[in-house]
Amino acid sequence: MGEILRVWGGRPLEGAVRLPSAKNSVLPILAAAVLADGPVVLRDVPDLADVRASVSILRALGLTVRRRGEDLHLLPAAVPGWQLPEAPARAMRSSVFYLAPVLHRAGRVRMPLPGGCKLGPRPIDIHLDGLCRMGAQAACGEDWLELTAPARLRGMDYTLRLPSVGATETLLMAAALAQGDTVLRNAAREPEVRDLAAFLNGCGARIEGAGSPVIRVQGKTALHGARHRPIPDRIVAATVAAAVAGCGGCVTLLGTGEDPLGPVAGVLERAGCHTDRPAPECWRVQRQDDLQGVGLVRTGVWPGFSTDAAPVVAGGLLAARGDTVLEDTVFEDRFACAEGFALLGGQVCRRGRVLAVHGPARLAGARVRACDLRGGAGLAVAALTAAGASVIEGAEYIRRGYADLAGLFRGLGAQLQAAPQG
């Protein structure tokens, strides 16, 4: 259903916010739960649109899934299904995570081609190439995909064409129950890959080196259940921090793990913020000086500046004095939010993968449209920094990654309200 977000901006942010579990950890781990023979409990799972879609897929595959407070409880399927349901599988890219687990469980898997945010071409060739080298056979129609595994998947020594996060996760799940050992080279090093490996190891898998470019997996014949708390969401952390940069104020992030902001902290410090860690599992972000543009920032794979953080940081720096130039090296079409930034008064120029912001700009509330998840969150951050009332249409995209963005920022003194689009 369509949704709008109303924002009355221009107030500094003050207070504390607890980070939810990371969407990008939760989604592959939910798919990996299909591999387990016993009960799985995932702690602190946010009620995101993509989590709901995942739960629909899991139920269609025969698993029992119950939400108990913040936790999800999963029981294995008596008879494992092999067809992913059309609507939820099409609604998100993360349906691709079900390929390997369902192949292991049912010997075949059929799904519509995965959807997700339109950030430019998003092929799944590495997922498929790796699975086929392990013994799967793939057939692909115009808008569907079917894989069969005539025998148990075999371990392999495989170099990824590029360090894709999703493909690394697919191949980790495939390797965990494959016959023999697997070595994945040029693997993605993102913290969420490490977290998936930690979950699988908690279920009895033998994975070493996750978080480095070379991951070694000893294939097991079965995995048991586990309880797992996914890592905190570093993109939610970046969103709040960018909003503090734009609005001013001081916010403490709680339940953060070691370093929730990574390279985003350095960029926001250059912009005039101070970040520190007053206690373990806790980070404070404060704007101390006038907001300054930060020059060139290039996104990259971990430990680089996250592509997902680029639109929210841009939204926070629209009013900065001087120039900020964000170049996304991961996706071709990351900055569809540029049009909305301009309507809010930002002086922006978008060319292909590059978004240039020239300031200072006087931002004022406007009616804008979200075109994707992180771009929508970037618009929300910009609207929080703009004086007056804004309306963000297409806010249902934001629900894919933030359970309640309006409530989160209201808790920090901002005025926002989510409503169905009438």
Interface with ligand UD1 (CB under 6 A)? 24, 27, 93-94, 121-127, 162, 164-167, 188, 192, 307-308, 330-331
Burial of 222 (0-12, 13-18, 19+ CB in 10 A): exposed
Task: Read off the tokens for 270.
Answer: 């250059």
- The least CB distance from residue 126 to ligand UD1, in Å, is 3
- The least CB distance from residue 282 to ligand UD1, in Å, is 25
Give 29 or 251: the residue with its C-beta nearer to ligand UD1: 29
- The least CB distance from residue 321 to ligand UD1, in Å, is 30
Burial of 143 (0-12, 13-18, 19+ CB in 10 A): exposed
Task: Read off the tokens for 380.
Answer: 């929300």
Give 27 or 414: the residue with its C-beta nearer to ligand UD1: 27
- The least CB distance from residue 215 to ligand UD1, in Å, is 15
- The least CB distance from residue 192 to ligand UD1, in Å, is 6
**Torsion angle, alpha carbons of 42, 253, 47, 44, to 10:** 20
What distance in Å separates the CA atoms of residue 168 and residue 130, rounded to the nearest whole number? 9
Residues involved in catalysis: 117
What distance in Å separates the CA atoms of residue 199 and residue 32, rounded to the nearest whole number? 9
Amino acid found at 284: R
What distance in Å separates the CA atoms of residue 100 and residue 31, rounded to the nearest whole number? 9
- The least CB distance from residue 189 to ligand UD1, in Å, is 11
Give 308 or 396: the residue with its C-beta nearer to ligand UD1: 308
What distance in Å separates the CA atoms of residue 244 and residue 224, rounded to the nearest whole number? 43
| Cis status, amide bond into 123, omega within 30 of 0 | no
What distance in Å separates the CA atoms of residue 25 and residue 404, rounded to the nearest whole number? 18
What distance in Å separates the CA atoms of residue 379 and residue 376, rounded to the nearest whole number? 5
Give 92 or 176: the residue with its C-beta nearer to ligand UD1: 92
Task: Read off the tokens for 416.
Answer: 């926002």
Give 3 or 192: the residue with its C-beta nearer to ligand UD1: 192
- The residues near 286 (Cβ < 8 Å, ≥ 6 apart) are 244, 249, 250, 251, 273, 274, 275
Give 7 or 102: the residue with its C-beta nearer to ligand UD1: 102
Give 167 or 253: the residue with its C-beta nearer to ligand UD1: 167
CA angle 414, 420, 422 (to 5 degrees): 125
- The least CB distance from residue 188 to ligand UD1, in Å, is 6
